Amino acid sequence: MELSKVYMLAAAALVAIGLFAILRTNHVVRQLLGINLLGNGIFLLLIAIAQAPADAPEEGLDPVPQAMVLTGIVVAVCATGFALTLIERYRAVSGCLTVKEGADAD
């Protein structure tokens, strides 16, 4: 099996686990971790797509998707820090770390 296919399968697994965590829990920190897993799966997919074809190994990797992924990682770390700050503020105001749904959201 080609290495890029292994990367794509791992990316699909990360995206699936991230979506599951986002949709199945009300705990905001776990949802944030799910969003991070989803983003990492997308980054891994971009790296797998950027791999050179097997018949042209002398070309190497395309630097544009690598630069996009590196920039995305930096933005994701900053967004995660900001989200953790918002979660801490939400906990200080509401006293809990779960999202209330429906009519109980008073």
The CATH number for 26's domain is 1.10.287.3510
User: What is the Cα–Cα distance from 98 to 20, expressed in whole angstroms?
Assistant: 16
Reported pTM: 0.81
Residue 106 within a domain: no
Q: Given this model, what pLDDT does residue 69 score?
A: 93
pLDDT category at 23 given cuts 50, 70, 90 is: very high
SS3 content of the chain, % helix, strand, coil (to 5): 75, 0, 20
Q: Given this model, what pLDDT does residue 8 score?
A: 92
What number is the average pLDDT over the span 2-6? 85
In which domain, by residue range, is 53 found?
3-101
Tell me the β-bridge partners of 27: 98
DSSP state of 105: -
User: What is the Cα–Cα distance from 84 to 64, expressed in whole angstroms?
Assistant: 30
Residue 73 within a domain: yes
**Residue 11, Cβ density class (10 Å: 0-12 exposed, 13-18 middle, ≥19 buried):** buried
Comparing 2-6, 34-38, 51-55, 92-96, the range with the smallest average pLDDT is: 51-55
Total number of domains constituting the chain: 1
